[in-house]
Amino acid sequence: MICASDDAEHAILCDRTTSCTVNLLWLRVRNAITGALDSMTLADLVPPRLLAVKSLAAASGKTGTATVAPTAEQKPIHGALTPS
């Protein structure tokens, strides 16, 4: 969305840049979303009950479903969605 850009080309693409207050709103919305996504990992989205069940199964030696253990270096959700 052009209004969510703080790129210098924004002024070229939109002739309302100098008087538009909507751009400021969209920049704040974009920054809030990015901040929320950067503060969470995919592991944060796993329900606590599911983690407890998998931990108990692992402790008892039962297998049958593949589990993915969280890594020491977990990427924020936003970083996981953007190409490296």
Could you please report the per-residue DSSP string of 1-64?
-GGG---TTHHHH-TTTTT-SHHHHHHHHHHHHHHHHHT-BGGGGS-HHHHHHHHHHHHHT--S
Q: Per-residue pLDDT tens for 26-83?
A: 888 989 999 999 999 988 887 777 667 777 778 877 655 555 555 545 666 665 555 5
Q: Domain check: are 34 and 52 in the same one?
A: no
- As for how many domains the chain has, the answer is 2
The pLDDT of residue 37? 92
Domain range for 62 is: 41-84
Q: Domain check: are 84 and 50 in the same one?
A: yes
Q: Domain check: are 21 and 50 in the same one?
A: no
The pLDDT of residue 51? 67
Confidence of residue 7 (pLDDT cuts 50, 70, 90): confident
Q: Domain check: are 54 and 20 in the same one?
A: no
Q: Domain check: are 35 and 47 in the same one?
A: no
pTM: 0.49
Confidence of residue 84 (pLDDT cuts 50, 70, 90): very low
Q: Domain check: are 51 and 76 in the same one?
A: yes
CA 60, 64, 68, 72 torsion-angle sign = positive
